[in-house]
Amino acid sequence: MIKFVLQLTLLLTSLNSFSQILVLPGDNPDPSVVKIGDKYYASATTSNWAPAFPIYESKDLKTWHPKGHVFAQLPKWSDYYFWAPEISYDNGKVWVYYAAHKGNGNLCVGVASADKPEGPYTDHGTLICEEAGSIDAFQMRDENGKLYLIWKEDANSVNKPTPIWAMEMSEDRSKLIGEKVKLFYNDVAWEANVVEGVSMIRHGGYYYAFYAGAGCCARGCNYGMGVARAKNLLGPWEKYNKNPLLKTGARWKCPGHGTPIEHEGKYYFLYHAYEPKADVYAGRQGILSEFTFTEDGWIEFKVDEETTSGIIPSEIKDDFNGNNISPYWQWSVFKNPEHKLTKGKLTLQGDPEISGAFLGLRTYTANYEATATVLIKESSSETGMGLIGDRRNLASITIKEGKLIVKKIDAGKETIINTIKAKGLKDNITLRASVKGGQYVTFEYSLDGKTFTKAHKEPVDGYFIPPWDSAVRVGVIAKGNKTDSGVFDQFKLVNHKE
């Protein structure tokens, strides 16, 4: 069971300011939120990590607790890129609209439903699959109560403008009805080649569309958030001349793609942004900002770059007690590694592919340490731990037949950095990764869990590890035949204050 020790980091303010507050730390892109009863529920993109789409619960929009996932088993029609889940509630049922890549096809918008937010969810397949791809769906009713699906055509993937469409949808969410209507597209300089991530709220006679523009992801991102308004859902739509309302600042960069929500008479926007120091290594994290409606009928954010706060786990420890693996662990959508918990031990079945089988945890800060205790005599695979971007990009330290192996896999190419004979081995060995700046990792080992020895001379440069749309995980690895396995007694991640 994973245990968290929480660390409260305050910079010149209190939690009451609601000014760019970090509320979903770690890799939680494209967050969406809905109120159900007296609680709030949120989800986020998982891309090529499974299980797909976490479900978080909160009473105040600030403190969130995991409640499971939308898909423990991925929908049969899809294969990868699980993006932008939008969680909604209507007439006693929870609906999650999401994008995923269709096998032998392109990106499609799918929909799943549940009787309660924590699930279980039933997938209902796809609603729209355009040739260029369809993503970022949001449900909204028009002024006459008709139900519509709002989405983005992924035309930027073929170097064309990106229209935001609306189309009537059946009440059972089984199909779209009639003709699609274009609401707006990227036609303002700051939006560059894309507008996307539309979410809506109705207030004071207007529909307000919150949307993101420009480049969402990776080191060269230039994302920002704008707003448009219309008297009627199908338009005409008018963009605010003060856009972008959210853009890169000193504390957070490339903000955008979120959902507006009301809480105790105030209005907030839950969205993602990169923290500059942890950057792409910790990924796009969930941020909460308060906004108000201006006298002339527009949106104004209460953003103060000098006042920000956040809660991150200072220590995450899993002693592998219990019967089921913690919901914090993730794995590749391309692999579903066999694993089990027995008597406080995690057994991970080996995989012969270059990266082996792996389970990973989100990282949160630029500087951290992770340790894994390997039960040597019970492990038959090449067993260890490391920093994982995906199955083609990682850096690791493993042990096999008494030898420690430090290596990296960059774009599917393996490089052995060092191999050493571990002297004095007994029943277990503790492996450690010490990370600086999110990028530089030093691997060490210990025979007693206290005194550590470096396993290589220079830090490994992990610049290559994070995928363009996701972040680094740190976790356990087992490489070998399906009959082989790695056995772990404990895993711990310690995050350091910046």
pLDDT-derived band of residue 242, with 50, 70 and 90 as boundaries? Answer: very high
Residues 285-330 pLDDT 10s: 999 999 999 999 999 998 665 445 558 889 999 999 988 889 899 9
Q: Decide: helix, strand or coil at residue 16.
A: helix
User: What's the rounded Cα separation, in Å, for the pair 75 and 87?
Assistant: 17
Q: How far apart are the first and last CA of the chain?
A: 27
Exposed e or buried b per residue across 98-125, where buried means at least 16 C-beta atoms within 10 angstroms of its C-beta: bbbbbeeebbbbbbbbbeebbbebebbe
Beta bridge partners of 354: none
Residues 10-53 pLDDT 10s: 333 333 333 789 999 999 999 999 999 999 999 999 999 999 99
pLDDT-derived band of residue 378, with 50, 70 and 90 as boundaries? Answer: very high
Virtual CA dihedral for 113, 115, 118, 121, nearest 10 degrees? -30
Q: Decide: helix, strand or coil at residue 228.
A: strand
Q: What is the pLDDT of residue 98?
A: 98
Tokens of 468: 């363009």
Q: What is the pLDDT of residue 439?
A: 97
Is pLDDT above 60 for 481?
Answer: yes
Sign of CA dihedral 54, 367, 374, 460: positive
Residues 269-288 pLDDT 10s: 999 999 999 999 999 999 99
Residues 6+ apart with CB under 8 A from 110: 75, 77, 78, 97, 98, 99, 100, 123, 124, 125, 126, 127
Give all domains of the chain, ordered by start, each with its CATH number: 20-302 (2.115.10.20), 313-495 (2.60.120.200)
The pTM (predicted TM-score) of the whole model is 0.95
Is pLDDT above 70 for 9?
Answer: no
Between 17 and 112, the more confident residue is 112
Residues 6+ apart with CB under 8 A from 220: none
User: What's the rounded Cα separation, in Å, for the pair 68 and 46?
Assistant: 13
| Among 389, 371, 323, CA closest to 488 | 371
| Among 341, 340, 361, 336, CA closest to 351 | 336
